[in-house]
Amino acid sequence: MQVTAGRLQYMLERLSEALTVTAYGATGSGVTDDAPAIQAALNAARLRGGWVIIPPGRYLLSSLPLRIYGSTRLTLLPGARFIRGAAETVLINGDAGQNFNGYDGHGSITIEGGVWDCRGTAPGLTGSAMCISIGHARDITIRDVEIRDVSGYHAIELNSTKRASIENCRFLGYYDPGQRDFSEAIQLDLAKSSGVFGGFGPYDHTPCEDIAITRCYFGASGTSGTTAWPRGIGSHSATITKYHRRIRVKSCSFEGITQYGVSAYNWEDVTVTGSHFFECGSGVRLRSVILTDTEDTKRPDGTQTGASQDMRNFAITGNTFRRGGGYDDPIVALGEASGLVLNIAITGNTIDGSTNNQNGIRLQRVSRATVGPNTIVNTAGTGISLGNSGNLVITGNEIWGVGGNGIAFTTCDHSTVTGGQIREPGASGILVTGNSDNIHLRNVYIKSPSRTKHGDAWGIRLQGGSSSISMSGIKVRPHGSGNEASHAYSAEGGTTPVTLVQRYGNDWRGSWTVAPVAEGTGVTSNTSAADVT
């Protein structure tokens, strides 16, 4: 009881220090412009640091933006609703013209509670605007807010921010005023230019670091004229030598997102865990700097590099992707020749469905990746598609009923498939093509390949001049009825034959359209289990 009494006393003391906006003239009627009264309370908190409280009510905000300053806690109590009434950002941390470098601006800010209705379809409010905009700051907490119907820009922008947490928030509804079909509900950005962050400078290319986004929901509001967000969390600008680092997305839900749930553009040290993606155009994208974007390939001093840059260290674990749309693959990593995506773990995910020939997992220009175990079912394209990549370990995946190949390597090297099973792929179980080399296939079960068209695919197919392929302990079985593969195993010969094949201990038994094994002219194959020197 003594402890409880002490806590109550502490709370009463803090409440006595709080600044309630009704004391500054706010009415909460939804008719009077309450922004000046709320700003007066925020100004008072600036002088000493403080707690600004918004009681239940409807607060029309016709004089924007509101400006919040360091060491301030802004709390909207249950039943409080902000109603945007001007074509401006609702809240920003600081003043136009301020000049705080790096992370030294107004920080140690908490924003919590309430509904923030941005009314993006209302007459006069359809132009692009932010809801909450944070820049040059550290130690930011945004929690338990609902942001609705933003037009054009972002619900929350964290720009040049270090140590921020966005917790248990809801991002509902988006309006595209034109040519903004790529906007993120939560954008991480860097202080690149006034066109990127218009609130204030300096434009010193400070990125975001140590950002945690947990237990948030992204979806539609149901307001006529709006959609769900194009992207849930992400970035779409970059500067060479800079990265957003140490980003954690955990236990979030993305529903009906038209493009990407998470778009990690030029990020490093990233985890996306325990999240759910339902009927989204795509789930998680890892993307190095786009080579054709000439603004993003510049250094901070403006020098044009004409190149991308490597980015590294990603864990995509324990997520579910269901009924994916056709915008892109549920999980996709895209590098450039001058900017690989390095060090990826994609494990423990469940992918159930995609459309428009999208694969389950696609890696392009990636190195040092582990994929599996994952469950991938009912995708329109290939289960796991790998291109221009190397040093890959594909292990223990369950791939079932995909429209394309189970696993496909195109121009890959130094990679291994081990364990797992591939059931009823529309095309081949495993395809190795495009001069791939040093590919190792071990202990995989492939059942019922070529389900889309009779005699049109293989259990395992090696082609395109690929070389140094080893296979052992692989079992391939036909379906037993309907469409069947031409061969359990086939290696292309002719002008670009497959070479240096080592295979033994595989099980090709069954009734195939043509034969269990087919190796073309010029294929060099060794079926001995003895050492090869």
pLDDT digits over 412-429, tens only?
999 999 999 999 999 999
Q: Which of 6-15, 289-298, 404-413 has the lowest mean pLDDT?
A: 6-15
pLDDT reported for residue 13: 45
Q: Is the pLDDT of residue 333 over 70?
A: yes
pLDDT reported for residue 532: 84
408-to-389, 411, 502, 527 alpha-carbon distances in Å: 12, 10, 19, 23
**Percent of the residues in the chain that have a pLDDT greater than 70, as a whole number:** 97
pLDDT reported for residue 47: 82
Model confidence pLDDT, tens digit, residues 98-149: 999 999 999 999 999 999 999 999 999 999 999 999 999 999 999 999 999 9
Report how many domains make up the chain: 1
Residue 386 counted as domain residue: no
Residue 208 counted as domain residue: yes
Q: Is the pLDDT of residue 358 over 60?
A: yes
Length of the chain: 533
pLDDT reported for residue 49: 82
Model confidence pLDDT, tens digit, residues 369-415: 999 999 999 999 999 999 999 999 999 999 999 999 999 999 999 99
Let me know: does 254 contact 284? Beta carbons within 8 Å.
Answer: no
User: What's the chain's average pLDDT?
Assistant: 96
Residue 476 counted as domain residue: no
Who contacts 441 (Cβ-Cβ below 8 Å, separation ≥6)? Answer: 416, 417, 430, 460, 469, 470, 471, 472, 474
Give the C-alpha separation, 105 to 65, whole Å: 17
Report the pLDDT averaged over residues 13-24: 78
pLDDT reported for residue 48: 79
Residue 470 counted as domain residue: no
- Expressed as residue numbers, the domain containing 118 is 13-237
Q: Is the pLDDT of residue 11 over 90?
A: no
Model confidence pLDDT, tens digit, residues 202-249: 999 999 999 999 999 999 999 999 999 999 999 999 999 999 999 999
**Between 6 and 390, whose confidence is greater?**
390
Report the pLDDT averaged over residues 91-98: 96
Q: What is the pTM of this model?
A: 0.95
Closest of 404, 415, 407, 496 to residue 446, by C-alpha: 407
Residue 352 counted as domain residue: no
Let me know: does 267 contact 311? Beta carbons within 8 Å.
Answer: yes
- In this prediction, residue 12 has a pLDDT band, given cuts at 50, 70 and 90, of very low
Residue 205 counted as domain residue: yes
Give the C-alpha separation, 214 to 252, whole Å: 6
Q: Is the pLDDT of residue 15 over 70?
A: no
Residue 108 counted as domain residue: yes
Q: Is the pLDDT of residue 252 over 90?
A: yes
Let me know: does 442 contact 407? Beta carbons within 8 Å.
Answer: no
**CATH code at position 93:** 2.160.20.10
- In this prediction, residue 2 has a pLDDT band, given cuts at 50, 70 and 90, of low
Residue 186 counted as domain residue: yes
Q: Is the pLDDT of residue 293 over 60?
A: yes
